[in-house]
Structure 1
């Protein structure tokens, strides 16, 4: 089912789905993570255009389908936000930030593209860092995509966050070239 959701995400952009071995392996690992007793987070990271966001969206869509079907009385969806939108809205709308902290299911796209800190009315925020701390403390389902390399997480967010990412997130590393070319 996850493979079908992935294919649909690709075809939505009017490009042909490439069912190569790397894509199949990533889908299989993500499906195993979804169905198993693993860490509460999934970190998709690596090269630009390699399918990280597409896989995250496919997971979100699959969860939406399963939770909003006739077999489930619970209605759930994965709340999606880009790191840039997070940084833009966090300082001006504390209720929005609290909403993100408390979402049962959250997907943060493209961490590492946002400003490291945001200032508002004399206060300085580090939105991604603060959000990861909050979600780590509550062990909430979180998917993150990023173009950062392993060593970049510590450089960008500090060793404390890098350590929490290690504990909280299963990792899928992307090394293949961009599908956009």
Structure 2
């Protein structure tokens, strides 16, 4: 399965990709992670590609993802036409309030990631809210493994482990609690 996570610097785009790739290895998959930064750091563009497979990975380069996570509007515009047929497009509806025309035959999941992160008391955890929603839809990696792997991603920041665990759980459960909107196109 191929993923692109995209947004602006400071949204935790790389943390989402690294957590998914590392958790996949723990669950017996092969995975690759390729970060891409714009010329600016915080506020500039950021995206990463993740490939998770049972067998060998032919190429770590993702041009047609099964899953696209767009955390801001410029990222949505840049990558929206790359999603494979029958793929999934996850949109941070907190920052993306109008949908441009997108490919047919994909599922769109509108997740109010910023609002859900604010509800748990940490606005900067919107990335983990979104990743939790992705885990719920794909069923590729267990929520339990992702939560355990927070220790790897945030090993130098133990003070953020609890809030990121809560954010993953909130995003995962948001699909069941109708706090999100899914559109079949």
TM-score, normalised to structure 1, is 0.32
Bigger relative CO (Cα 8 Å, ≥ 6 apart): 1
Q: If each structure's helix is expressed as a fraction of its own residues, which one has the higher value?
A: 1
TM-score, normalised to structure 2, is 0.32
Larger radius of gyration: 1
